[in-house]
Structure 1
């Protein structure tokens, strides 16, 4: 996407000084999330649903105080770049529902960081964007290339696991919302994560090995184990039924938003078509929102 800069107009009090655009993928929850030896981490699952952010910086009025997280990201990026604090307009075009575990906030924050830098003709490393995002709230690692293991509380990338598999997903949202910040401040979270660590270790080994060897069935088994393990932390009332439907359409496995509401199926490339599977499930649960998309590699565009 193009980057543009404009001179300050003396006659027009709303003249744009600089403009930058960036897009970030959302996620279908996570392939794995939990702790190992008490350290929190997740394995990313970016998908082909995006948030596009346009940042316009000027000397004058700030038009977007309601986009609090994005405004903070803009200000923190300007501080990192050593730029004076311009007031700006942040325009978002996103297909990601909020408070569902699809990384809508992380996508908005990450895209805002990069769009702000691009307004000045600069790029930001994923590590920088991740650290800014983590200072605002616990964040997904969708800004890192491919599929990665990262600490979602610090923004630190731990391991690159390869490019995204060429697989389709069916996603369902039965309803409700989860506040990411409140979830990560739960007093029982550490003990619940400790309780599920054995299953999380197994899930991590399977997903990691599956991605590195392109064994998608192994990856699917690992994601399913992590989804089941998370029932002690944030139970999905319909997970058993979801797993049954996944079996009926011969999916590779299931995954969940570990701190959200959505559930996903990882479709077998030679199995039931994702659109057909989504229609099948939507017919059984017309009150749910059900759709299909593809896994994609992380990284901002």
Structure 2
């Protein structure tokens, strides 16, 4: 896919002056998402599926707005760098499905910001990229290294928990879509988040301790609690069945896209093979999209 932010520059495609590339991982929903005393908390779950972006910057031309999230990200990155806003061509290669809760928009935005900076031999800090992403829409935290707790509405990092454990995930999408922006505009969002705060607090504690101490079973329990707590806000019709299958294969736990459709299963490294689990579930639900991947540390490449 290619975006061209400034149609006025289309006739001058042979005047490319600078080029930068970057890649950002997607997510399998979140290990935890919710609020504590009304403040948003999110622990992302970066996975080994990527959005790769190449940015080409041309001579300045007349600016035209309304050309997509990636173009807005390029504009904000250039503004932060103190550079004139130029004609920007953005090419994206991604395997991340949209509107499923897999951080596709955040990955595109983050990679675009860094690719734009790299076109000028600059590198944007994760905190700056997260803040830019949050100006465009509520965002995941996969631009931060390792596994990090962040405020997904402001992009502010809260705590670095460490590198991602070497675990496999089975991911399932039963179908449907969720618009992240509309979801975060819900009138009942604050009250529903308040309702699930006790479980979210417990989930954050377990996931944090689990990652810091290498107790992956504890981490899985925390993720499962957060997934269950989110049923009051965005119910997953098949979560009970998903948890049952996870128990059958002795998974460490489950996780969900708290503002999306996908569900994930965290597998023990010495347990059932991820490909076998994916085939097992795919046989039971042939209309679902089911695949397997790995949990990885966040950060841009």
TM-score where L is the length of structure 2: 0.94
Q: Is the 8 A contact 2:60 2:85 kept in 1?
A: no
CA offsets 1:177-228 (integer angstroms, 9 cap, x no match)? 0000000110000000000011111111110000000000000000000000
The RMSD of aligned alpha carbons is 1.6
Aligned residue number for residue 163 of structure 1: 163
Aligned residue number for residue 46 of structure 1: 46
Aligned pairs (5 A) from 1:1-301:
13-59=13-59, 68-301=68-301
Aligned residue number for residue 8 of structure 2: none
1:17/1:240 CA distance change after superposition, 3 Å:
same
| Distance (whole Å) between structure 2 residues aligned to residue 189 and residue 121 of structure 1 | 41
| Distance (whole Å) between structure 1 residues aligned to residue 268 and residue 67 of structure 2 | 39
Aligned residue number for residue 7 of structure 2: none
CA offsets 1:19-47 (integer angstroms, 9 cap, x no match)? 00000000000000000011011001000
- Runs of 4+ aligned residues of structure 1 deviating over 2 Å after TM superposition are 11-15, 59-62, 64-67
Q: CA deviation at 1:65?
A: 8.1
1:65/1:79 CA distance change after superposition, 3 Å:
closer
1:288/1:14 CA distance change after superposition, 3 Å:
same
Q: CA deviation at 1:106?
A: 0.2
Count of paired positions: 290
Q: CA deviation at 1:90?
A: 0.3
CA offsets 1:64-91 (integer angstroms, 9 cap, x no match)? 9886000000011111111111111100
| Distance (whole Å) between structure 2 residues aligned to residue 252 and residue 76 of structure 1 | 40
Q: CA deviation at 1:15?
A: 2.2
Q: Is the 8 A contact 2:169 2:294 kept in 1?
A: yes
| Distance (whole Å) between structure 2 residues aligned to residue 143 and residue 13 of structure 1 | 31
TM-score where L is the length of structure 1: 0.94
Q: Tell me, what secondary structure is at the counterpart of 2:14? A: coil
